[in-house]
């Protein structure tokens, strides 16, 4: 036996030892630093083993995993003889030593949240913090799949996707410990999925279970698909964390952001070279997560990318209509309508004009729950079982009403609405009444009395969400006239031409409906704070802010008869409740504390104007609540875009220019 033949077994053992050490480091350290924070490239190493094809053809192999460069160039299936590599005693001893080190770390005392935050910048870019109450961050991460871990490398590796090579940092393909991961996914399924059914839960759950069952092959055909799943999983973790009552409030946003950062590492911009339905789902979930954060521009831009990828896939022309798979057909339609609906929702929040049109080419998704959609054949929803898709279909119709009123909202409230505009507002408001009246019984919020089952709680959550969306759209339609009326009441003698009698009468009627909608919205959101199906979202914060400003501004219009002087009255109590709702959102929505401060200054501005008119000072402490001196509290966030520094009748709520 020559020297070349005798050295090969030793090369295999060294390669195996190196690979096992790398994987163990990933398992112990968990979250690798983001590439953007100085990930150092690995040193050039000697080739320990050639792949089967290069060895058979006696060509030079660079040993790149999972596919070597010669096989990439030839498009060949690259394979290595990993299973034949013996395990050395040194490797086993090394693993045992590292296990003992991990056990000592687990037994070490917990850091306080403050110390963890101080150590954050020194250790890595992760925003995980230690939590002695819930042990949420103990044993931070482990290798998600033993099968996939066998091919992980500490450095980024390349994957073949058609003709494109995309960098994927496989060291980020890790998840929290099983109990924590299960809890976060459960929170997502209970509190997030019913509001935006972006994923097909059975398919997602099956892929997730593969992480914990090494004997089951994963469903991913390429590393690109696997990376997309891990990125999606981390965004699901982030959304579950925000809605998880087991996580201490002050840690929710910080912990959720760490999952978001890891997802970004797994899905770089180059990954969009391989568009897929799963990529669109990931982008929609990311959009939803960003709506909780201060990244308002990033939220809108991510949604725009999701819409563009959807169009690349042909979702906007129902390209999957001829598919034999009911599952593929229905999910394509659902995802496209989610793109449109989320764009219209964000447009209503930020004052953007929705650019994507619904031309009727894509039918509405069927009201069939995920578990009844089939790959072969056509599943049906059981007649006696209400579908969780009913609320989404109702939401599509609700925001279609908003989309048909762009001209009304373009002018905001810098001017009073003319008679044709007022008539259109009332007509669209009537359409909302019809949608509300046609809702099935399980989507009517007054039909749910403390549901006892998991599904009953999901339906109750959806009923409240649909009601909030109706009231939100109603306020978007009616609020411009209400604030224009308040403006005209004070400045009409000097600046505005007097309205006709018909315009004045109709304007007061519209304002009255608007004030009533504002009262209903705040009452619903305040009551929901005590519910087991609590809704935390940027929409809830916006509706609270919008409704409260309507009630406060209505005190400037004598014809409406609204007064805040009696804190126990319906209007004064509603404004006080609005401050409580914003207080409750301060740990889930980054901009909520700032919004509370803005609302407090808005109330003081209107009170100053009333004092100028009447000469009477009004005590606001009963309305502002216990945090009356805390109106400046909070970090910058989404709601910084509200410009309350200008007079009431000039500011534009969501002017992002």
Over residues 75-97, the mean pLDDT reads 59
How does pLDDT run across 305-317, given as a tens digit for each residue? 999 999 999 999 9
| Omega of the bond leading into 66 within 30 degrees of 0 (cis) | yes
How does pLDDT run across 576-592, given as a tens digit for each residue? 999 999 999 888 888 88
How does pLDDT run across 407-445, given as a tens digit for each residue? 555 545 556 678 888 888 999 999 999 999 999 999 987
Local confidence band at 492 (pLDDT 50, 70, 90 cut-offs): low
**For residue 490, what are its two tokens?**
């004070």
pLDDT at 489 over 90: no
Q: Are 474 and 432 in contact (CB under 8 A)?
A: yes
Q: Are 156 and 219 in contact (CB under 8 A)?
A: no
pLDDT at 339 over 90: yes
**For residue 648, what are its two tokens?**
């009431």
Residue 627 gets which letter from DSSP? T
Cα–Cα distance measured from residue 372 to residue 368, given in angstroms and rounded to the nearest whole number: 6
DSSP string, 167-183: EE-GGG-EE--HHHHHH
Given this model, what pLDDT does residue 113 score?
Answer: 33
Query: Among 330-344, 359-373, 474-488, whose mean pLDDT is lowest?
Result: 474-488
Contacts of 5 (CB under 8 A, 6+ apart): none
Q: Provide the CA 38 distance to its chain's centre, in angstroms.
A: 28
Residue 87 gets which letter from DSSP? P
Residue 567 gets which letter from DSSP? T
Cα–Cα distance measured from residue 53 to residue 59, given in angstroms and rounded to the nearest whole number: 8
Long-range pairs for 618-621: beta carbons < 8 A, 24 or more residues apart: 618/564, 618/565
Given this model, what pLDDT does residue 650 score?
Answer: 35
Which has the higher per-residue pLDDT, 393 or 115? 393
Over residues 77-82, the mean pLDDT reads 72
Contacts of 558 (CB under 8 A, 6+ apart): 489
> Strand, coil or helix: what is 166?
strand
Which has the higher per-residue pLDDT, 651 or 559? 559
pLDDT at 109 over 60: no
Q: Provide the CA 163 distance to its chain's centre, in angstroms.
A: 32
Which has the higher per-residue pLDDT, 473 or 155? 473
Share of the chain above pLDDT 70, in %: 68
Which of 226-240, 286-300, 536-550 ranks highest by mean pLDDT? 226-240
Q: Round the average pLDDT of the chain to a whole number and report it.
A: 75
Handedness of CA 440, 442, 443, 448 (dihedral sign): positive
Cα–Cα distance measured from residue 8 to residue 28, given in angstroms and rounded to the nearest whole number: 31
Residue found by looking up tokens 């949608």 in the block: 435
Q: Among 82, 108, 67, which Cα is nearest to 18's? A: 82
Over residues 93-105, the mean pLDDT reads 58
- What are the residue boundaries of the structural domains of the chain, listed by start? 3-143, 147-372, 390-641
Cα–Cα distance measured from residue 143 to residue 171, given in angstroms and rounded to the nearest whole number: 9
Residue 362 gets which letter from DSSP? S
> Strand, coil or helix: what is 165?
strand
Q: Maximum CA pair distance of the chain?
A: 108
Cα–Cα distance measured from residue 48 to residue 64, given in angstroms and rounded to the nearest whole number: 10
Over residues 164-181, the mean pLDDT reads 73
Over residues 360-381, the mean pLDDT reads 94
377 backbone φψ class: left, alpha, beta (φ>0; ψ -120 to 50): left
Q: Among 598, 602, 345, which Cα is nearest to 483's? A: 602
How does pLDDT run across 197-209, given as a tens digit for each residue? 999 999 999 999 9
Contacts of 301 (CB under 8 A, 6+ apart): none
Local confidence band at 358 (pLDDT 50, 70, 90 cut-offs): confident
Query: Among 486-490, 494-498, 558-562, 642-646, whose mean pLDDT is lowest?
Result: 642-646
Given this model, what pLDDT does residue 483 score?
Answer: 83
Residue 188 gets which letter from DSSP? I
Q: What angle do CA 64, 67, 73 make, to 5 degrees?
A: 100
Given this model, what pLDDT does residue 220 score?
Answer: 84
DSSP string, 414-434: SS---HHHHHHHHHHHHHHHH
How does pLDDT run across 528-578, given as a tens digit for each residue? 988 877 888 888 898 999 999 999 999 988 899 998 877 678 999 999 999
CA distances from 526 to 345, 467, 574 (A): 22, 13, 9
pLDDT at 304 over 90: yes
pLDDT at 472 over 60: yes
Cα–Cα distance measured from residue 477 to residue 429, given in angstroms and rounded to the nearest whole number: 8
How does pLDDT run across 18-46, given as a tens digit for each residue? 433 333 333 333 333 344 444 444 444 45
Local confidence band at 455 (pLDDT 50, 70, 90 cut-offs): very high
pLDDT at 102 over 60: no
Over residues 606-629, the mean pLDDT reads 63
Q: Are 554 and 562 in contact (CB under 8 A)?
A: yes
Cα–Cα distance measured from residue 551 to residue 572, given in angstroms and rounded to the nearest whole number: 9
Handedness of CA 582, 587, 589, 593 (dihedral sign): positive
Local confidence band at 76 (pLDDT 50, 70, 90 cut-offs): confident
How does pLDDT run across 211-224, given as a tens digit for each residue? 998 777 778 888 88
């Amino acid at each position: 036996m020559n020297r070349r033949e005798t050295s090969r077994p030793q090369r295999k053992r060294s390669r195996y030892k190196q690979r096992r050490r790398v994987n163990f480091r990933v398992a112990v350290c968990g979250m690798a630093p983001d590439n953007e924070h100085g990930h150092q490239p690995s040193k050039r190493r000697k080739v320990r083993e050639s792949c089967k094809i290069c060895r058979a053809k006696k060509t030079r192999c660079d040993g790149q995993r999972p596919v070597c460069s010669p096989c990439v160039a030839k498009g060949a299936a690259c394979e290595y003889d990993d299973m034949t590599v013996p395990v050395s005693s040194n490797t086993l001893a090394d693993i045992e030593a590292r296990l003992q080190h991990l056990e000592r770390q687990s037994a070490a005392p917990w850091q306080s949240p403050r110390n963890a935050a101080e150590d954050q910048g020194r250790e890595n870019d992760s925003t995980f913090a230690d939590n002695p109450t819930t042990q949420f961050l103990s044993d931070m991460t482990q290798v998600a799949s033993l099968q996939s871990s066998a091919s992980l490398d500490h450095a980024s590796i390349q994957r073949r996707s058609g003709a494109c090579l995309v960098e994927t940092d496989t060291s980020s393909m890790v998840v929290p410990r099983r109990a924590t991961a299960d809890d976060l996914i459960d929170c997502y399924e209970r509190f997030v999925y019913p509001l935006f059914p972006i994923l097909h839960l059975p398919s997602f759950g099956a892929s997730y279970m593969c992480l914990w069952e090494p004997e089951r092959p994963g469903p991913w055909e390429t590393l690109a698909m696997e990376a997309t799943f891990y990125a999606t999983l981390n965004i699901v973790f982030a959304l579950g964390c925000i809605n998880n009552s087991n996580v201490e409030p002050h840690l929710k946003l910080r912990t959720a952001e760490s999952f978001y950062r890891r997802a970004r590492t797994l899905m770089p911009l180059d990954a969009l070279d391989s568009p897929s339905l799963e990529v669109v789902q990931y982008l929609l979930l990311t959009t939803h997560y960003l709506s909780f954060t201060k990244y308002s521009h990033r939220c809108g831009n991510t949604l725009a990318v999701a819409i563009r990828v959807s169009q690349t896939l042909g979702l906007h022309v129902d390209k999957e209509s001829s598919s034999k798979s009911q599952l593929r057909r229905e999910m394509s339609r659902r995802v496209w309508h989610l793109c449109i609906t989320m764009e219209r929702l964000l447009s209503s929040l930020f004052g953007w004009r929705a650019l994507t049109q619904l031309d009727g080419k894509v039918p509405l998704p069927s009201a069939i729950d995920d578990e009844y959609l089939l790959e072969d054949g056509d599943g049906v929803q059981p007649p006696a079982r209400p579908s969780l898709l009913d609320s989404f279909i109702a939401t599509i119709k609700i925001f279609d009403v908003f989309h048909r009123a762009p001209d009304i909202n373009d002018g905001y409230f810098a001017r009073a609405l003319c008679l044709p505009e007022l008539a259109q507002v009332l007509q669209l408001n009537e359409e909302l009444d019809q949608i509300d009246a046609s809702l099935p019984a399980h989507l009517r919020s007054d039909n749910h009395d403390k549901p006892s089952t998991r599904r009953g709680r999901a339906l109750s959550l959806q009923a409240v969400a649909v009601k909030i969306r109706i009231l939100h759209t109603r306020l978007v339609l009616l609020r411009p006239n209400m604030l224009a009326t308040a403006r005209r009441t004070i400045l009409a003698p000097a600046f505005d031409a007097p309205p006709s009698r018909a315009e004045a009468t109709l304007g007061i009627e519209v304002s009255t409906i608007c004030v009533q909608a504002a009262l209903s919205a705040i009452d619903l959101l305040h009551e929901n704070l005590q519910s087991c199906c609590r809704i935390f979202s940027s929409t809830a914060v916006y509706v609270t802010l919008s409704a409260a400003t309507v009630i406060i501004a209505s005190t400037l219009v004598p014809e409406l008869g609204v007064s805040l002087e009696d804190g126990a009255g319906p209007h004064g109590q509603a404004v006080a409740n609005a401050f409580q709702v914003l207080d409750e959102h301060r740990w889930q929505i980054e901009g909520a504390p700032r919004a509370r401060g803005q609302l407090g200054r808005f109330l003081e501005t209107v009170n100053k104007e009333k004092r100028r008119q009447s000469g009477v000072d009004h005590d606001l402490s009963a309305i502002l609540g216990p945090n009356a001196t805390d109106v400046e509290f909070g970090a910058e966030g989404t709601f910084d875009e509200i410009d309350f520094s200008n007079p009431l009748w000039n500011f534009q709520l969501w002017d992002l220019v």
